[in-house]
Amino acid sequence: MDLYGDLVEQYREFAGHAAADSPYFAAWSLGVAQDDDVLSWLTRLPRVKQQPNLVFAAARWHGVPAPGPYAGLRDALLGDDGRIEATIRSRRTQTNEVGRLATLLPAFGLAARDTAEPLVLIEVGASAGLCLFPDRYRHRWRWAGEPPREESLGEGPELRCDVAGPVPLPDTPPVVGWRAGIDLHPLSVHDADAMDWLEMLVWPEQHDRRVRLRRAVEVAAAEPPYLVRGDLLDELPLLVEEAQAFGRVVVFHTAVVAYLDEPARRRFADLMAGLVASGACHWVSNEGRRVLPEVSATAPRGAGTDDDLHFVLGLDGQALARTHGHGRALRWLG
Protein backbone atom coordinates (compact mmCIF):
# COMPACT_ATOMS: atom_id res chain seq x y z
CA MET A 1 0.00 0.00 0.00
CA ASP A 2 1.46 3.34 -1.11
CA LEU A 3 1.00 5.90 1.66
CA TYR A 4 1.89 8.67 -0.78
CA GLY A 5 -0.33 7.48 -3.62
CA ASP A 6 -3.94 8.16 -4.59
CA LEU A 7 -6.16 8.28 -1.49
CA VAL A 8 -9.08 6.32 -2.94
CA GLU A 9 -6.72 3.61 -4.22
CA GLN A 10 -4.99 3.47 -0.84
CA TYR A 11 -8.28 2.67 0.91
CA ARG A 12 -9.33 0.18 -1.75
CA GLU A 13 -5.99 -1.59 -1.48
CA PHE A 14 -6.20 -1.68 2.32
CA ALA A 15 -9.63 -3.27 1.99
CA GLY A 16 -8.07 -6.04 -0.06
CA HIS A 17 -5.31 -6.56 2.48
CA ALA A 18 -7.76 -6.63 5.40
CA ALA A 19 -10.49 -8.77 3.83
CA ALA A 20 -9.27 -12.11 5.20
CA ASP A 21 -8.34 -10.89 8.69
CA SER A 22 -10.68 -7.99 9.41
CA PRO A 23 -13.98 -7.92 7.50
CA TYR A 24 -15.04 -4.79 9.41
CA PHE A 25 -11.91 -2.85 8.47
CA ALA A 26 -12.35 -4.03 4.89
CA ALA A 27 -15.91 -2.69 4.91
CA TRP A 28 -14.79 0.59 6.53
CA SER A 29 -12.10 1.02 3.88
CA LEU A 30 -14.48 0.44 1.00
CA GLY A 31 -16.94 2.82 2.65
CA VAL A 32 -14.32 5.57 2.84
CA ALA A 33 -13.23 4.98 -0.75
CA GLN A 34 -16.78 5.72 -1.93
CA ASP A 35 -17.55 8.61 0.43
CA ASP A 36 -16.65 12.03 -0.96
CA ASP A 37 -17.40 13.78 2.35
CA VAL A 38 -15.06 11.57 4.37
CA LEU A 39 -12.39 11.71 1.69
CA SER A 40 -12.57 15.50 1.83
CA TRP A 41 -12.22 15.36 5.64
CA LEU A 42 -9.11 13.18 5.29
CA THR A 43 -7.42 15.61 2.89
CA ARG A 44 -7.10 18.10 5.75
CA LEU A 45 -4.48 15.78 7.25
CA PRO A 46 -0.82 15.46 6.24
CA ARG A 47 -0.42 12.85 3.49
CA VAL A 48 1.15 10.14 5.63
CA LYS A 49 -1.54 10.67 8.30
CA GLN A 50 -4.41 9.81 5.94
CA GLN A 51 -3.68 6.07 6.10
CA PRO A 52 -6.51 3.69 7.08
CA ASN A 53 -4.95 1.94 10.05
CA LEU A 54 -4.08 5.22 11.79
CA VAL A 55 -7.45 6.84 11.09
CA PHE A 56 -9.38 3.76 12.20
CA ALA A 57 -7.33 3.36 15.39
CA ALA A 58 -7.83 7.01 16.31
CA ALA A 59 -11.58 6.69 15.81
CA ARG A 60 -11.67 3.58 17.99
CA TRP A 61 -9.48 5.34 20.59
CA HIS A 62 -12.32 7.86 20.92
CA GLY A 63 -15.09 5.32 21.24
CA VAL A 64 -16.16 4.28 17.74
CA PRO A 65 -17.21 0.64 18.15
CA ALA A 66 -15.30 -1.96 16.18
CA PRO A 67 -16.52 -4.43 15.15
CA GLY A 68 -19.23 -2.03 14.08
CA PRO A 69 -20.88 -0.54 10.99
CA TYR A 70 -19.26 1.99 8.70
CA ALA A 71 -21.91 4.53 9.65
CA GLY A 72 -20.37 4.78 13.13
CA LEU A 73 -16.97 5.68 11.70
CA ARG A 74 -18.48 8.14 9.22
CA ASP A 75 -20.54 9.96 11.85
CA ALA A 76 -17.54 10.20 14.19
CA LEU A 77 -15.19 11.65 11.58
CA LEU A 78 -17.65 14.14 10.09
CA GLY A 79 -18.86 15.18 13.54
CA ASP A 80 -15.40 15.29 15.11
CA ASP A 81 -14.89 18.06 17.65
CA GLY A 82 -11.15 18.00 17.00
CA ARG A 83 -10.14 15.18 19.31
CA ILE A 84 -9.94 12.44 16.65
CA GLU A 85 -7.98 14.70 14.33
CA ALA A 86 -5.59 15.63 17.15
CA THR A 87 -4.97 11.96 17.89
CA ILE A 88 -4.28 11.22 14.23
CA ARG A 89 -1.82 14.09 14.05
CA SER A 90 0.00 13.19 17.29
CA ARG A 91 0.03 9.37 17.11
CA ARG A 92 1.69 6.92 14.71
CA THR A 93 1.21 3.37 13.45
CA GLN A 94 4.07 1.80 15.40
CA THR A 95 2.60 -1.68 15.62
CA ASN A 96 5.80 -3.68 16.22
CA GLU A 97 4.24 -7.01 15.16
CA VAL A 98 6.51 -9.69 16.68
CA GLY A 99 4.81 -12.37 14.59
CA ARG A 100 7.05 -11.20 11.76
CA LEU A 101 10.06 -12.65 13.59
CA ALA A 102 9.11 -16.14 12.40
CA THR A 103 9.61 -14.92 8.82
CA LEU A 104 12.77 -12.95 9.61
CA LEU A 105 14.61 -15.71 11.48
CA PRO A 106 15.72 -17.66 8.35
CA ALA A 107 17.28 -14.45 6.98
CA PHE A 108 19.03 -13.83 10.30
CA GLY A 109 20.35 -17.39 10.12
CA LEU A 110 21.76 -16.83 6.63
CA ALA A 111 23.43 -13.61 7.81
CA ALA A 112 25.17 -15.56 10.59
CA ARG A 113 25.95 -18.75 8.67
CA ASP A 114 29.71 -18.22 8.28
CA THR A 115 30.60 -16.84 11.70
CA ALA A 116 30.79 -17.91 15.32
CA GLU A 117 30.22 -14.33 16.42
CA PRO A 118 26.95 -13.40 18.11
CA LEU A 119 24.43 -11.43 16.12
CA VAL A 120 24.13 -7.71 16.72
CA LEU A 121 20.63 -6.57 15.79
CA ILE A 122 19.75 -3.00 14.82
CA GLU A 123 16.12 -2.36 13.99
CA VAL A 124 15.22 0.63 11.86
CA GLY A 125 11.85 2.06 12.90
CA ALA A 126 11.97 0.12 16.15
CA SER A 127 8.99 1.70 17.93
CA ALA A 128 9.20 0.02 21.38
CA GLY A 129 11.85 -2.47 20.19
CA LEU A 130 9.62 -5.51 20.57
CA CYS A 131 11.08 -7.21 17.47
CA LEU A 132 14.63 -7.07 18.85
CA PHE A 133 14.19 -10.35 20.79
CA PRO A 134 14.06 -13.23 18.27
CA ASP A 135 15.99 -15.35 20.77
CA ARG A 136 13.18 -15.14 23.37
CA TYR A 137 10.47 -16.91 21.36
CA ARG A 138 9.52 -20.39 20.26
CA HIS A 139 9.24 -20.29 16.47
CA ARG A 140 6.97 -22.93 14.93
CA TRP A 141 6.92 -23.42 11.15
CA ARG A 142 4.34 -25.59 9.41
CA TRP A 143 4.43 -26.98 5.87
CA ALA A 144 1.13 -28.01 4.28
CA GLY A 145 0.86 -31.53 2.93
CA GLU A 146 -0.34 -35.00 3.76
CA PRO A 147 0.58 -35.26 6.51
CA PRO A 148 1.61 -31.69 7.37
CA ARG A 149 5.16 -31.24 8.69
CA GLU A 150 6.26 -28.97 11.52
CA GLU A 151 9.57 -27.74 12.93
CA SER A 152 10.16 -25.54 15.93
CA LEU A 153 13.07 -23.67 17.46
CA GLY A 154 13.66 -21.82 20.71
CA GLU A 155 11.72 -21.31 23.93
CA GLY A 156 9.21 -18.70 25.02
CA PRO A 157 5.93 -17.37 23.65
CA GLU A 158 5.05 -19.20 20.44
CA LEU A 159 5.12 -17.60 16.99
CA ARG A 160 3.47 -19.71 14.29
CA CYS A 161 4.08 -19.42 10.58
CA ASP A 162 2.83 -21.44 7.59
CA VAL A 163 5.67 -21.95 5.13
CA ALA A 164 6.24 -23.22 1.61
CA GLY A 165 9.42 -23.97 -0.28
CA PRO A 166 12.98 -24.85 0.78
CA VAL A 167 13.22 -22.53 3.76
CA PRO A 168 16.76 -22.68 5.25
CA LEU A 169 15.79 -22.85 8.89
CA PRO A 170 18.62 -22.32 11.38
CA ASP A 171 19.64 -25.28 13.54
CA THR A 172 19.90 -23.30 16.75
CA PRO A 173 18.28 -20.17 18.15
CA PRO A 174 20.20 -16.97 17.43
CA VAL A 175 22.77 -15.79 19.95
CA VAL A 176 22.26 -12.04 20.24
CA GLY A 177 25.22 -10.15 21.63
CA TRP A 178 23.70 -6.66 21.45
CA ARG A 179 20.45 -5.13 20.28
CA ALA A 180 19.45 -1.57 19.48
CA GLY A 181 16.87 0.38 17.54
CA ILE A 182 16.32 3.75 15.87
CA ASP A 183 13.03 5.59 15.78
CA LEU A 184 11.92 9.19 15.38
CA HIS A 185 9.61 8.64 18.35
CA PRO A 186 10.73 5.56 20.32
CA LEU A 187 8.24 4.14 22.80
CA SER A 188 8.94 2.82 26.27
CA VAL A 189 7.49 -0.56 27.22
CA HIS A 190 6.88 0.97 30.66
CA ASP A 191 4.63 3.71 29.22
CA ALA A 192 1.13 2.29 29.74
CA ASP A 193 -0.54 4.85 27.48
CA ALA A 194 1.84 4.07 24.61
CA MET A 195 1.32 0.33 25.03
CA ASP A 196 -2.47 0.81 25.08
CA TRP A 197 -2.14 2.69 21.78
CA LEU A 198 -0.09 -0.15 20.25
CA GLU A 199 -2.90 -2.51 21.24
CA MET A 200 -5.48 -0.20 19.66
CA LEU A 201 -3.60 -0.53 16.35
CA VAL A 202 -4.32 -4.26 16.27
CA TRP A 203 -7.27 -4.97 13.99
CA PRO A 204 -10.51 -5.48 15.97
CA GLU A 205 -11.16 -9.15 15.18
CA GLN A 206 -7.57 -10.24 15.89
CA HIS A 207 -7.63 -11.22 19.56
CA ASP A 208 -4.65 -13.53 19.09
CA ARG A 209 -2.48 -10.60 17.98
CA ARG A 210 -3.52 -8.58 21.04
CA VAL A 211 -2.52 -11.45 23.31
CA ARG A 212 0.79 -11.81 21.45
CA LEU A 213 1.46 -8.09 21.79
CA ARG A 214 0.95 -8.23 25.56
CA ARG A 215 3.38 -11.13 25.81
CA ALA A 216 5.89 -9.25 23.64
CA VAL A 217 5.72 -6.24 25.94
CA GLU A 218 6.45 -8.55 28.89
CA VAL A 219 9.46 -10.01 27.05
CA ALA A 220 10.91 -6.59 26.25
CA ALA A 221 10.16 -5.19 29.72
CA ALA A 222 12.44 -7.84 31.25
CA GLU A 223 15.38 -6.27 29.36
CA PRO A 224 14.36 -2.95 27.79
CA PRO A 225 16.26 -2.44 24.52
CA TYR A 226 18.61 0.41 23.69
CA LEU A 227 16.64 2.82 21.52
CA VAL A 228 18.08 5.85 19.75
CA ARG A 229 15.80 8.80 18.97
CA GLY A 230 16.44 10.32 15.57
CA ASP A 231 16.22 10.10 11.80
CA LEU A 232 17.37 6.73 10.49
CA LEU A 233 19.35 8.31 7.66
CA ASP A 234 21.35 10.37 10.16
CA GLU A 235 21.72 7.94 13.05
CA LEU A 236 22.19 4.57 11.36
CA PRO A 237 25.83 4.87 10.19
CA LEU A 238 26.99 5.88 13.67
CA LEU A 239 25.01 3.11 15.35
CA VAL A 240 26.38 0.49 12.94
CA GLU A 241 29.90 1.67 13.71
CA GLU A 242 29.24 1.41 17.44
CA ALA A 243 27.68 -2.04 17.08
CA GLN A 244 30.60 -3.63 15.23
CA ALA A 245 32.48 -4.15 18.49
CA PHE A 246 29.84 -6.66 19.65
CA GLY A 247 29.58 -9.14 16.75
CA ARG A 248 28.03 -9.67 13.32
CA VAL A 249 25.83 -6.63 12.66
CA VAL A 250 22.42 -7.11 11.02
CA VAL A 251 20.32 -4.05 10.24
CA PHE A 252 16.67 -4.97 9.71
CA HIS A 253 13.31 -3.35 9.18
CA THR A 254 9.78 -4.44 8.42
CA ALA A 255 6.88 -2.24 7.20
CA VAL A 256 8.92 0.90 7.89
CA VAL A 257 10.39 2.21 4.63
CA ALA A 258 6.86 2.65 3.27
CA TYR A 259 6.56 5.67 5.59
CA LEU A 260 9.41 7.46 3.81
CA ASP A 261 8.75 9.55 0.74
CA GLU A 262 10.30 8.43 -2.54
CA PRO A 263 13.55 10.47 -2.30
CA ALA A 264 14.16 9.25 1.25
CA ARG A 265 13.53 5.64 0.20
CA ARG A 266 16.17 5.94 -2.48
CA ARG A 267 18.63 7.52 -0.03
CA PHE A 268 17.99 4.73 2.46
CA ALA A 269 18.45 1.99 -0.16
CA ASP A 270 21.72 3.62 -1.28
CA LEU A 271 22.87 3.93 2.33
CA MET A 272 22.22 0.26 3.03
CA ALA A 273 23.85 -0.88 -0.21
CA GLY A 274 26.95 1.10 0.74
CA LEU A 275 27.08 -0.32 4.28
CA VAL A 276 26.72 -3.87 2.94
CA ALA A 277 29.37 -3.33 0.24
CA SER A 278 31.81 -2.04 2.86
CA GLY A 279 31.29 -5.13 5.03
CA ALA A 280 29.90 -3.07 7.91
CA CYS A 281 26.70 -5.07 8.23
CA HIS A 282 24.11 -7.33 6.66
CA TRP A 283 20.75 -5.91 5.61
CA VAL A 284 17.46 -7.75 6.18
CA SER A 285 14.47 -5.97 4.62
CA ASN A 286 10.80 -6.93 4.79
CA GLU A 287 8.63 -4.41 2.95
CA GLY A 288 5.74 -4.22 0.50
CA ARG A 289 6.57 -5.21 -3.07
CA ARG A 290 6.59 -1.65 -4.41
CA VAL A 291 8.49 -0.06 -1.52
CA LEU A 292 12.00 -1.29 -2.44
CA PRO A 293 11.70 -2.13 -6.14
CA GLU A 294 15.43 -2.80 -6.41
CA VAL A 295 15.00 -5.71 -3.98
CA SER A 296 11.71 -6.98 -5.43
CA ALA A 297 13.24 -7.01 -8.93
CA THR A 298 15.76 -9.67 -7.87
CA ALA A 299 13.03 -12.27 -7.27
CA PRO A 300 13.24 -15.22 -9.69
CA ARG A 301 11.12 -15.02 -12.81
CA GLY A 302 7.75 -16.65 -12.28
CA ALA A 303 7.90 -16.13 -8.51
CA GLY A 304 4.32 -14.87 -8.60
CA THR A 305 2.57 -12.26 -6.51
CA ASP A 306 0.56 -14.23 -3.95
CA ASP A 307 -2.62 -12.40 -3.03
CA ASP A 308 -2.00 -12.55 0.72
CA LEU A 309 1.83 -12.36 0.70
CA HIS A 310 2.37 -8.67 0.08
CA PHE A 311 5.87 -8.30 1.54
CA VAL A 312 9.25 -9.20 0.06
CA LEU A 313 11.90 -10.51 2.45
CA GLY A 314 15.41 -9.59 1.35
CA LEU A 315 18.98 -10.13 2.47
CA ASP A 316 21.66 -7.68 1.33
CA GLY A 317 19.40 -6.43 -1.44
CA GLN A 318 18.44 -9.89 -2.80
CA ALA A 319 14.87 -11.18 -2.54
CA LEU A 320 14.57 -14.38 -0.50
CA ALA A 321 10.87 -14.90 0.09
CA ARG A 322 7.38 -13.45 0.08
CA THR A 323 5.79 -12.96 3.48
CA HIS A 324 2.48 -12.12 5.11
CA GLY A 325 2.45 -8.64 6.63
CA HIS A 326 1.81 -9.95 10.15
CA GLY A 327 4.22 -12.90 9.86
CA ARG A 328 1.55 -15.54 9.40
CA ALA A 329 3.05 -17.09 6.25
CA LEU A 330 6.30 -17.35 4.31
CA ARG A 331 6.96 -18.65 0.79
CA TRP A 332 10.63 -19.14 -0.01
CA LEU A 333 11.71 -18.21 -3.52
CA GLY A 334 13.76 -20.59 -5.64
In this predicted model, what pLDDT tens digit does every residue of 133-175 receive, in sequence order?
A: 999 999 999 998 778 899 999 999 999 999 999 999 999 999 9
Pairing of strands 149-153, 282-288: unpaired
Per-residue confidence (pLDDT) for residue 325, from 0 to 100 = 87
Same domain, 273 and 221: yes
Whether 263 is covered by a domain: the verdict is yes
pTM of the model: 0.91
Whether 134 is covered by a domain: the verdict is yes
Query: Structural domain tally of the chain?
Result: 2
Whether 130 is covered by a domain: the verdict is yes
Same domain, 177 and 232: yes
Res. 310 pLDDT band, cuts 50 70 90: confident
Same domain, 102 and 12: no
Whether 209 is covered by a domain: the verdict is yes
Same domain, 292 and 164: yes
Same domain, 78 and 121: no
- Cβ neighbour number for residue 81 with a 10 Å cutoff: 8
Same domain, 27 and 158: no
Q: What is the CATH number of the domain that holds 125?
A: 3.40.50
Q: Residue 303: pLDDT above 70?
A: no
| Whole-number average pLDDT of the chain | 93
| Dihedral in degrees, nearest 10, Cα atoms 166, 333, 153, 223 | 170
Same domain, 136 and 46: no
Q: Residue 194: pLDDT above 80?
A: yes
Q: Residue 1: pLDDT above 70?
A: no
Distance CA 327, CA 27 (A): 23
Same domain, 231 and 279: yes
Res. 307 pLDDT band, cuts 50 70 90: low
Same domain, 74 and 145: no
Q: Residue 306: pLDDT above 60?
A: no
Res. 114 pLDDT band, cuts 50 70 90: confident
The H or E element containing residue 51 is none
The predicted model gives 201-215 an average pLDDT of 94
Same domain, 285 and 308: yes
Q: Residue 18: pLDDT above 90?
A: no
Q: pLDDT tens digit string along 241-296?
A: 999 999 999 999 999 998 899 999 999 999 999 999 999 999 999 999 989 999 99
- Which residues have a Cβ under 8 Å from the Cβ of 305 and sit 6 or more positions away? 289, 322
Q: Does residue 67 have a cis peptide bond before it, meaning omega lies within 30 degrees of 0?
A: yes
Same domain, 230 and 163: yes
Res. 301 pLDDT band, cuts 50 70 90: confident
Structural domain of 64: 7-90
Same domain, 39 and 151: no
Given 26, 59, 90, the domain boundary residue is 90
Per-residue confidence (pLDDT) for residue 3, from 0 to 100 = 64
